[in-house]
């Protein structure tokens, strides 16, 4: 086994890019060191399911382009960001059995390549990204580097585990109901869900949907700087978010005061228990924001108490599952059977098939009303909302999976982890999970901060303020080199 350079493993992507540019290390050496870490650790974690190591080394050996992240190793989530010539299986058994290879780069992958990132492989994801754990039947469970008996969250669990373990400094992730923020919270990372239309989603998805792409990472400068190279629209984008605060790296040194911040630190549903340890970390974060000069008080948009929106979200979520299975049938060239997908996915797709086009339009209309209702709270003078990211720390592996006797178990048991996150996929607002504390057992706890639509700049400013106080990047998972 190759010796792991622990100092190199602790650099963020900005720092590694600077080291490569200065000649302190070559791109080939950086890529090889990353390969060595993956090979040393991933048998226990199971985060990187597709590996393109030979291609990555060959790309690193080419003359480096003049780009901000030239030569920096990177991983893609094996969901919607396709990479030309690489496997694309979205956690599905039929796609794996067919060894489906996608022919083109997604638009976001084009942006990553233009920025100089070198793609080493693709990370594990639950089937179609539908639940809050990464335990697909196709590729097996991903383990949390903080405690391998626990899961890393979902659906970007493979990405979060790879970053939290130190395999890479940052990795692509996506978020349709909390799938960046939930794994970030469970793995002690930063997870920003950008505004709807901030980054291109084509060609397999549209910007007007629930999902958006970005990364999980350790530092705010990575979060901001990678967003700068990603937030470049294409001519076909259906939504383009306003450019307030760009370039985002310029926001890292801003220290705002007097922001009006609401705190929602109670369970959002009567049937969900908010873990007291999570509640305590959120309260501590609110107190810290007050000490930093902000006006902090208990408040949240009244529209977030609207329980009916969950029905509209479910309609769109399950209809989306059916649509995804239709795409898989086109890719593998045959009709799918229940044996080709997990029982929870099949149930969701069947439920989605029961909705008519009029039903889906009605759900979209309810979501539009919800979005406008939440926006009025910000229009009334509030700048940010602070909430828990998840109601509980990371669950044990197996707690969020389905069985033939309980086909809905994965979906139902995922609800407490997405109860605070999914609303902002409906509204399209930017929301960030920050690693603000730990449970008594040593599991990370994330705190979510939500800004008005298009205001990632405020999240980056305040995130940088908190980072300077907490220094979370100094505290790494036990498995991290």
Quickly state the pLDDT bin for 172 (edges 50, 70, 90): very high
Whole-number pLDDT of residue 425 = 97
Whole-number pLDDT of residue 307 = 83
Whole-number pLDDT of residue 49 = 98
Query: Any catalytic annotation for residue 156?
Result: no
Please report, to the nearest 10 degrees, the dihedral formed by the alpha carbons of residues 391, 394, 399, 402 taken in order.
Answer: 80
Catalytic residue among 77, 193, 195, 211: 77
Q: What percent of the chain has pLDDT over 90?
A: 96
pLDDT tens per residue, range 2-39 = 678 899 999 999 999 999 999 999 999 999 999 999 99
Q: Is the pLDDT of residue 399 over 70?
A: yes
Query: Any catalytic annotation for residue 93?
Result: no
Mean pLDDT for the stretch of residues 364-393: 97
From start to end of 57-209, where are the E strands? 73-77, 118-123, 170-175, 190-193
Whole-number pLDDT of residue 61 = 98
What single-letter DSSP state applies at residue 174? Answer: E
Catalytic residue among 83, 165, 179, 195: 179
Q: Is the pLDDT of residue 149 over 90?
A: yes
3-state secondary structure of 210: coil
Under a CB-based contact definition with an 8 Å cutoff, are residues 201 and 211 in contact?
Answer: yes
> Token digits for 471?
């220094």
Please report, to the nearest 10 degrees, the dihedral formed by the alpha carbons of residues 122, 48, 25, 65 taken in order.
Answer: 0
**pTM for this entry:** 0.98
Distance in angstroms (rounded) separating the CA atoms of residues 82 and 103: 8
Query: Any catalytic annotation for residue 65?
Result: no
What single-letter DSSP state applies at residue 223? Answer: H
Q: Which residue is associated with the tokens 């929602």?
A: 264
> Token digits for 401?
């999976």
Whole-number pLDDT of residue 4 = 83
Please enumerate in sequence order all residues whose Cβ is within 8 A of that of 22, keeping only pairs 6 or more positions apart, or say none. none
Under a CB-based contact definition with an 8 Å cutoff, are residues 166 and 211 in contact?
Answer: no
Distance in angstroms (rounded) separating the CA atoms of residues 161 and 187: 7
Whole-number pLDDT of residue 185 = 98
Looking at the domain 6-474, which fold is it?
Answer: Amidase signature (AS) enzymes (3.90.1300)
Please enumerate in sequence order all residues whose Cβ is within 8 A of that of 101, keeping only pairs 6 or more positions apart, or say none. 85, 86, 87, 88
Write down the mean pLDDT value for the chain.
97
pLDDT tens per residue, range 219-258 = 999 999 999 999 999 999 999 999 999 999 999 999 999 9
Whole-number pLDDT of residue 369 = 96
Whole-number pLDDT of residue 281 = 98
Catalytic residue among 83, 93, 155, 312: 155
> Token digits for 451?
């800004």
């Amino acid at each position: 086994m190759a010796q792991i350079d622990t100092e190199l493993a602790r650099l963020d992507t900005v720092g590694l890019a600077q080291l490569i540019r200065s000649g302190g290390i070559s791109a080939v050496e950086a890529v090889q060191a990353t390969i060595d870490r993956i090979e040393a650790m991933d048998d226990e974690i199971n985060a990187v399911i597709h590996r393109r190591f030979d291609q990555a080394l060959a790309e690193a050996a080419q003359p480096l382009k003049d780009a901000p992240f030239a030569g920096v190793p990177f991983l893609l989530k094996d969901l919607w960001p396709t990479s030309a010539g690489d496997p694309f299986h979205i956690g599905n058994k039929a796609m794996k059995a067919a060894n489906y290879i996608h022919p083109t780069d997604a638009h976001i992958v084009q942006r990553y390549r233009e920025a100089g990132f070198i793609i080493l492989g693709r990370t594990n994801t639950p089937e179609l990204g539908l639940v809050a754990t990464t335990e697909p039947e196709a590729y097996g469970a991903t383990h949390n580097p903080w405690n391998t008996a626990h899961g890393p969250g979902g659906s970007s669990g493979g990405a979060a585990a790879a970053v939290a373990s130190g395999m890479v400094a940052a990795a692509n992730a996506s978020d349709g109901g909390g799938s960046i923020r939930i794994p970030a919270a469970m793995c002690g990372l930063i997870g920003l869900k950008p505004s709807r239309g901030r980054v291109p989603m084509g060609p397999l998805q549209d910007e007007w949907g629930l999902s958006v792409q970005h990364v999980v990472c350790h530092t705010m400068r990575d979060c901001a700087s990678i967003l700068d190279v990603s937030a470049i629209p294409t001519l076909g984008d259906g939504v383009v978010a306003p450019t307030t605060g760009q370039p985002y790296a310029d926001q890292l040194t801003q220290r705002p005061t007097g922001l009006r911040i609401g705190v929602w630190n109670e369970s959002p549903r009567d049937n969900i228990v908010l873990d007291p340890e999570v509640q305590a970390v959120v309260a501590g974060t609110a107190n810290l924001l007050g000490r930093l000069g902000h006006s902090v008080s208990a408040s949240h948009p009244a529209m977030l108490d609207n329980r009916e929106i969950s029905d509209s979200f479910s309609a769109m979520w399950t209809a989306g599952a059916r649509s995804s299975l239709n795409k898989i049938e086109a890719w593998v060239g045959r009709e799918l059977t229940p044996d080709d997908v997990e029982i929870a996915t099949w149930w969701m797709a069947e439920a989605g098939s029961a909705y008519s086009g009029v039903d889906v339009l009605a759900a979209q209309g309810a979501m539009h009303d919800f979005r406008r209702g939440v926006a009025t709270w910000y229009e009334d003078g509030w700048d940010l909302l602070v909430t828990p990211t998840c109601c509980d720390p990371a669950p044990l592996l197996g707690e969020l999976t389905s069985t033939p006797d309980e086909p809905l178990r994965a979906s139902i048991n995922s609800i407490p982890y997405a109860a605070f996150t999914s609303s902002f996929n409906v509204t399209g607002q930017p929301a960030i999970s920050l690693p603000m504390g730990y449970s008594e057992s040593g599991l990370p706890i994330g705190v979510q901060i939500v800004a008005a639509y298009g205001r990632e700049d405020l999240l980056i400013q305040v995130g940088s303020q908190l980072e300077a106080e907490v220094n979370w990047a100094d505290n790494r998972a036990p498995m991290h080199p």
